[in-house]
Structure 1
């Protein structure tokens, strides 16, 4: 059987040309990754520089070891920065921030006004928000692996992933691949799983950035699926929320967890073909499905294999080829 996957350590990215090629037909998958990363970096720098005169805000922290008030920089300091003032443990172990007791906030998202701050970890008494953010992050990371794991002669276009449904038994990402009727061999699933684990162990932060619809379209000029979704996503306020891990940039409403190392044991359990009939859509997508545990959660090999076997069953989440047509695609993108 022909092997389609490549070891990422041997992949050579085209750093220079990816920053200048404007047309999708000129971009390889890896060049598109580099280009989005470059545009993300420039826009993040522009937004930081646009803050201008630095103003101070008061962040009233509530939690262990004791309540306190931190004086931070408006529109620059994030909950992660606050956590670092408390201890390394606070910075590394917490997944989300809770602002004013009501709003779940990304750890790396800047704070814009005086507020109260609480942290939420994987051992919180009410873990629903953390669990959903963890599951959503796993889908995001699975997309990052899919975008980089294939050989250069395979065209990869990420489509979308639905909102997290922990009861389904697997997190997913739907991907268009230029592989007719691909059915991955067990060793290929092992390769995908290994790349997912490596990505998580490198522990890169999950960075959030809001951009204009125009910039989002420019960043995803190579991906017809994302380009179709962006106008609907931006319809509310003209903005599109992006996240970045290492050099991978994708669309998600978030929130995501603090950093990739908070994903512990993980596996890509299955790949299913999704046959489509919607006008203007590819004839088929592939649904990648995985399962993971938060770092620090211990489970023996036998028990984890039970989770993997359960995750092999086709996830029933809405297909991009559902009867809802374009609305179905819009809903998947909006809830990702």
Structure 2
């Protein structure tokens, strides 16, 4: 079959959903469970206790009296003004612990807010890159037509040096090599998703509840025991819109942090995982607050087309965000 006929088939039978389908029963059930647990945890707080949050700003310090296990870093930032609230990417507690902006604070602490223009942006970059992978998974999971069987597998620990953010997906398409137009569709869908300005919610749940949420995904259920074992028997979930996924976090507080985005390539991996081919979706993005000229961003796009060096998932090791980069890439 020549390339022209292949193109015609793609045009007659597109693999993407150009008309958004209604929320599936499975996704609705996942979100119902997440929301119910979120409400249960808030109600379980009981009598409100006060905590002291010491904010160390660049000019002056502030002492905030907040509510234990209710108030979040984002709530603290709102007390400090719109500028701090809007530009903050992630909180740093007591100079050592990164904390998601929408995750309740468990005790009194010293807090700093990190943004994209700090003198050492490594932690911020990783937070942004991790969020990009999570959001790529959200877009891919809804991009394909219903007759294309799809399971999100995992995404690696963020590493900007790799040249791309990644999500590995099991996709029932044999030897699919996306066209430039198909990659453009994915890029546009990711931009549109982020333009909804969705908060990225965070919730720690029990292992049993995580199994219930991901019971239809064999890869996630396989990963949950190992994740819980290394996280105090808890599994940390994030939600943006209706998309829920597992990640140790933290992530950016809102999808409006995303600026330029390109889904640069999709590469079929050579794995021993049963059930269908595993494809590595790769992309590159910039925070909305950072400006880069077209030529320079084009260089980043070209680099993001190369196979990302993260370890290829297989049956011998349970892959998740914590362990899926080769050692040489974790520095």
Fold agreement, TM-score > 0.5: yes
**Unpaired segments of 5 or more residues in structure 2?**
1-8, 325-331
1-side partners of 2:181 and 2:142: how far apart? 17
Cα shift at 1:33: 2.4
1:314 equivalent in structure 2: 307
1:93-121 Cα offsets, whole Å, 9 max, x none, are 11010111111111111011111111000
1:290-319 Cα offsets, whole Å, 9 max, x none, are 000111211122221111111101111101
> Which of 89, 105, 108 is matched with 1:95 structurally?
89
> Which of 280, 283, 288 is matched with 1:290 structurally?
283
Is 2:162 the partner of 1:168? Answer: yes
Matches within 5 A, 1:1-336: 1-2=9-10, 3-7=14-18, 10-14=19-23, 30-64=24-58, 66-236=60-230, 237-278=232-273, 281-321=274-314, 325-327=315-317, 329-330=318-319, 332-335=320-323
Structure 1 residue matching 2:229: 3-state secondary structure: coil
Contact 1:275 1:283 in 2 (8 A): no
Cα shift at 1:12: 2.6
1:220-254 Cα offsets, whole Å, 9 max, x none, are 01100001000111113211011011110000011
Q: Normalized against structure 2, the TM-score is what?
A: 0.91
1:85-144 Cα offsets, whole Å, 9 max, x none, are 111121111101011111111111101111111100001112111111111110000000
Q: CA RMSD in A?
A: 1.4
Contact 1:253 1:335 in 2 (8 A): no
Q: Normalized against structure 1, the TM-score is what?
A: 0.90
1:17 equivalent in structure 2: none
1-side partners of 2:205 and 2:194: how far apart? 26
Contact 2:172 2:277 in 1 (8 A): no
2-side partners of 1:36 and 1:184: how far apart? 30
1-side partners of 2:215 and 2:285: how far apart? 32
1-side partners of 2:321 and 2:226: how far apart? 9
Q: Structure 1 residues 137 and 335, CA, compared in 2 at 3 Å: closer, same or farther?
A: farther
**Unpaired segments of 5 or more residues in structure 1?**
15-29
1-side partners of 2:254 and 2:127: how far apart? 11
Structure 1 residue matching 2:101: 3-state secondary structure: coil
Cα shift at 1:258: 1.5
The size of the alignment, in residue pairs, is: 312
